[in-house]
A and B are shown apart, each in its own frame.
Chain A
Amino acid sequence: MRILFTTLFFTFLTGLASAADMGRSVVQVSVYSQTPIWDAPWRNNPVASSSGSGFVIDGDRVMTNAHVVSWAKQIVLRRFQDPRPWLARVEYISHECDLAVLKVDTPGFFDGLKSLPLGGLPEVQSTVVTCGYPAGGQQISYTRGVVSRIEMQNYVHIGNRAFLSVQTDAAINPGNSGGPVFQGDEVVGVAFMGTPGLENTGFFIPSAVINHFLEDVSDGKYDGFPKAGIRIVSLQNPAYRRYLGLPVTGDGARIDSLADYTEKAGLLKKDDVILAVGEHPVGSDGTILLEGNRVYCTTAFQVPQKGEKLKLKIWRDHKEIDVAVPMEVRDDDLNIGNLYDAPPRYFVFAGLVFTPLTLDYVKTFGRNWRGVANSEMIYELYYRRNETPAKVRKEPVVLATTLAHPVNADMRLASRAMIDTINGKRIETLEDVIAAFEENTKPQHMIQFISGTVECLDNTQAKLANPEILSTYGIQTDRRL
């Protein structure tokens, strides 16, 4: 018992001592940011201040979370025990995987700071130390915990993508975000989120995801994580396995449905059974064995970079085949994730404010937006693409609000409605709205909403009123495209 206690104590001290030494390369990231108002898209919320953590990596760069520096107007770094503020800028950012790389242009910042090496995937139950500047203090903080589990998690910053994530009971609090998670002398992750209501539950981004991001940006631009465009379901029902000619208790998960673009590509088909992704055999529950952990096989789909091919072993028509799937980055689901750093597009005409339909826009309906927002908008965002891809609009547009003026005062439906046509032109993008108004020579403009409701404006009066409305409501320009 005595030997065991000593060993544990020694290990703990070594772990913290090592982390404390490397902690000199951990910086505090202070940010002033300003987010837009999505239903008044020419306006911004008040400037807010927040802080997170970051750490030095190769190439005189600082790694942090994307959510720490999103919408930043100013980023200031503070070094360990150094009172001086250092201005930084975002070099690369991935809102998908919640990572960002910062540069500091002022010489001297990296003097005396070592870049921290990235390690591998930690084992479950192994000890890790988080390091950063959590809220409530100016000094660096270390907390120790164990790896609780490793699995795919929805990354809340973007909201609609899942990546590999490591759960730990080491405290990860606001301000820890972007800080390193150490194991021995290596960084095994970037702390990034907790779960409200769950005690001792923090998550960090593992090095596999970090490395993918760094490799992606190594050519000077960020492409993103490619997607295969398939929905994989378990294949555990004996009848289904027999139907496909597979042993009842064997491996392999089934492709249940394909995105429109995957179906058109023709390489993968419904009822294909994925036996292996790369070198990883796939279980009947859709998981692979990754360094001793069973994780969902989509992890392996996230290994290739844009344009690379992913080797799949497929069971199709009662035989095994190899398929190399070109992995492409898709932006078709951008609008159903949280958007950052690019202010919302809009067009104001005669006081009518048009903006694209996005998740950020429908969230303006309030916390319970799913129950409150117009159901046509929810359907368009989340279901249309999968059910009737031929009818998908490239960028559905909503009338967000109407700025009151005599020219539009008689409109009954004046806000929060999705546009179908304007002057007979089907609205696919915000540019269509502009063209529909600007090209119309008839005495009235006719706006038809998805609900069938119709509203009209006097053409001449609308044109005359536009500058006055922009001036009255303090809108610098009638459009942001």
Chain B
Amino acid sequence: MKIKTPLILASCIFATASAVFSQDAPEPDWQTSIVTFDITRNNFNFRIPWDKRAQTAAKLGTVIEGNEILTTAQGLANRTLVRLQKGGRGKWYNGNVEWVDYQANLAVVGVSDAAFWEGLAPVRFAQADELKRNLQIVRWRGGNIERRAAEFSRFSVADANFNQAPRIEMKTSSEMEGAGRGELMMSGGRVVGLVASKSGSTCSVIPSPFIMSILEKRASGDYRGLGFFDFIWQPASNPATTKYFEFSGQTGGVLLIKPSTRPGAKSPLKLHDIILEIDGYPIDIQGDYLDPDYGHVIMEYLACRKKWAGDIVKFKIWRDGEKREIDYVLPKADFSKNLIIDGPVGKEPTYVIAGGLVFVPLSAEFLSSWGADWQRTAPFRLVYYNKQKAKKDQPSLVVLSLVLPDSYNIGYQERKSQNLVLDRVNGRQISKLDDLIVALENPQNGFHVFLFNKGSSVQKIILEADQLDEANQRIAKRYGVARLQKLK
């Protein structure tokens, strides 16, 4: 006993000293590492696609190595002017977005004026084992640095709300008001992550290991974007189901119920394969795996864990009563070929106005003009295309979104003539606006014949071909539309 006492005492002293050191360690001067953004952007209304409304937004960024500023990608789409301010006050400098990835929700901004960089110092990022303790959120507010405590909650993989690469998120709670604009989450002297959003008191933070892996890849010049798993699975927690698929006796795995969500894609996976392991990580019956950095998280993140679009991911599966190994090539998180086009972000809306009939591509951006809850508030039929497969001869869709009233289109101005999906115009199948332009050059016996998809509230509209140009000019003038079409 006597021997043990000094040892215990020594341990206590060491532990106390360690805690003191951690709390009192000199921190970087955050004033020299955090900058303020003022971003002016065109806020397009995809239902009035020619209309541009300027919008300004403030956010925060942090200085990283190589005289660059790191921030979140949110709010940078359709930007017209990016300005930065250091020290929370004083002169504004023009910035240039050098790299942005909306799927990763990260962007890097440069400033060409050398004076901007004077007195600024890059931050250091925290490692995976430094993410959970002594958290604080730091930002500029009213010309002063504001710091608020935050508490670690959990790691999770962001829900794929519509079409999104899986992203790891660190959930923390904090009372800092209005956070979610790229504030720094820090611990000790290191940056733990960027605050991407806040709902209630819960902040979603992009954790530093994820940020570092992307910055490293970008620095190597080989950043190919994030990948994603394009299949749908269900937990294999029902023993009767595993027996049915002759898979009894195994302790984990999930059941594949859709080999690929990408139109026309060929997948090495098959319906009702059971996925046992991905890149050596065993998958449990809930679809989770044990991540060395983040603990138990859903297997979707294995598409992003040090993997990039085009990389091969190793799958161990159960098929036809035996184990097999499969190489799965990670598709890029690019959803612009979907039936409801999603992205690329930051493009101006495209449209064609013909005789007051406004046609737009059916896209996620168009649907999101119904608001944040668009999956419930946008017209049901349009949203439901997200659950449907594209037809071979119609891989994407064009919508009659609006009618600008004119004598030329009288009879088609009622609400039931809106939000209709085009099938054919003048006999030509319509998948994109370019098809429509070509079709309008070939009227049928002096008429433009528009046919809408079966089941539409109106299935046919006719316009006089030789009056179209005159009507277009009149309508453009009356409604202040500078351009009657924008195709790219």
- Is the beta-carbon distance between A454 and B241 smaller than 8 angstroms? yes
Of B237, B258, B380, B454, the residue contacting A410 (CB under 8 A) is B237
User: Do B380 and A412 have beta carbons less than 8 Å apart?
Assistant: no
Q: Does A378 touch B at the CB level, under 8 Å?
A: yes
Q: Does A411 contact B (CB under 8 A)?
A: yes
For window 455-482 of B, CB contacts with A under 8 Å fall at 455, 458-464, 467
Residue of A239, A243, A256, A411 ringed by the most chain B CB atoms within 10 A: A239
Cβ contacts under 8 Å, B387 to chain A: 375-376, 379
Q: A456 is contacted by which of B243, B449, B453 (Cβ under 8 Å)?
A: B243
Chain A: interface size category: 35 or more
Pairwise interchain contact A410-B240, C-beta atoms closer than 8 A: yes
Over the window 384-423 of chain B, the binary record of Cβ atoms lying under 8 Å from chain A Cβ atoms (1 yes, 0 no) is 1001000000000000000000001111101010000000
Complex CA–CA separation, A461 to B408 (angstroms): 69
Interface assignment of A387: CB less than 8 Å from any CB of chain B: yes
Interface centre among A235, A444, A451 (most CB of B within 10 A): A444
Bound-state CA distance A421–B377 (Å) is 31
A452 to B238, Cβ gap below 8 A? no
A235 to B461: give the CA distance in the assembly, Å.
10
Q: Pick the residue among B234, B409, B454 that contacts A387 (CB under 8 A).
A: B454
Which one of B376, B380, B414, B464 contacts A238 once the chains associate, using CB atoms below 8 Å? Answer: B464
CB distance from A317 to the nearest CB of B (A): 14
Q: Tell whether, in the assembled complex, residue A239 and residue B447 are in contact, meaning their CB atoms are under 8 Å apart.
A: yes
| B188 at the A interface (CB under 8 A) | no
How close is A455's CB to chain B, nearest CB, in angstroms?
Answer: 6
| Selected contact of B412 from candidates A237, A370, A376, A387, CB within 8 Å | A237
A307 at the interface (CB under 8 A from B): no
A239-B384 in contact (CB<8A): no
A271 sits at the interface (CB 8 A): yes
Partner of B458 from the list A233, A413, A444 (CB cut-off 8 Å) is A233
CA distance A471 to B424 in the complex (A): 58
Do A270 and B241 touch across chains, with their CB atoms under 8 A apart? no
Residue A237 contacts which of B241, B244, B255, B411 (CB distance < 8 angstroms)? B411
Q: Which residue from A242, A256, A387, A388 sits with its C-beta under 8 Å from B464?
A: A242
A440 smallest CB distance to B (angstroms): 11
Q: Does B257 contact A (CB under 8 A)?
A: yes
Instruction: Say whether B224 faces chain A, with CB atoms less than 8 Å apart.
Output: no
B323 to chain A, nearest CB (A): 20
> Which of B257, B455, B463, B464 is in CB contact (< 8 Å) with A383?
B455
Task: Convert A406-438 into 0s and 1s, putting 1 for each residue whose CB lies closer than 8 angstroms to a CB of B.
Answer: 000011110000000000000000000000000
A387 to B416, CA, bound (A): 17
**Contact at A237–B462, with CB atoms within 8 Å?**
yes
Determine which of A240, A371, A454 lies in contact with B255 in the assembled complex, contact meaning CB atoms within 8 Å.
A454
Q: Smallest Cβ distance from B415 to chain A, in angstroms?
A: 13
Q: How far is the CA of A379 from the CA of B244 in the complex (A)?
A: 31
- CA A238 – CA B454 in complex, angstroms? 24
Let me know if B464 and A410 touch, CB within 8 A: no
Say yes or no for B239: interface residue by CB 8 A criterion.
Answer: yes
A interface list, Cβ under 8 A from B = 233-240, 242-243, 256-257, 270-271, 370-371, 375-376, 378-379, 383, 386-388, 410-413, 443-444, 446, 451-458
9 contacts between A and B (CB under 8 A): A234-B414, A235-B411, A239-B408, A379-B384, A379-B387, A413-B234, A455-B240, A456-B241, A457-B240
In the A-B complex, the 6 residue pairs with the smallest Cβ-Cβ separation, listed nearest first, are: A237-B411, A236-B411, A386-B455, A387-B455, A456-B240, A239-B464
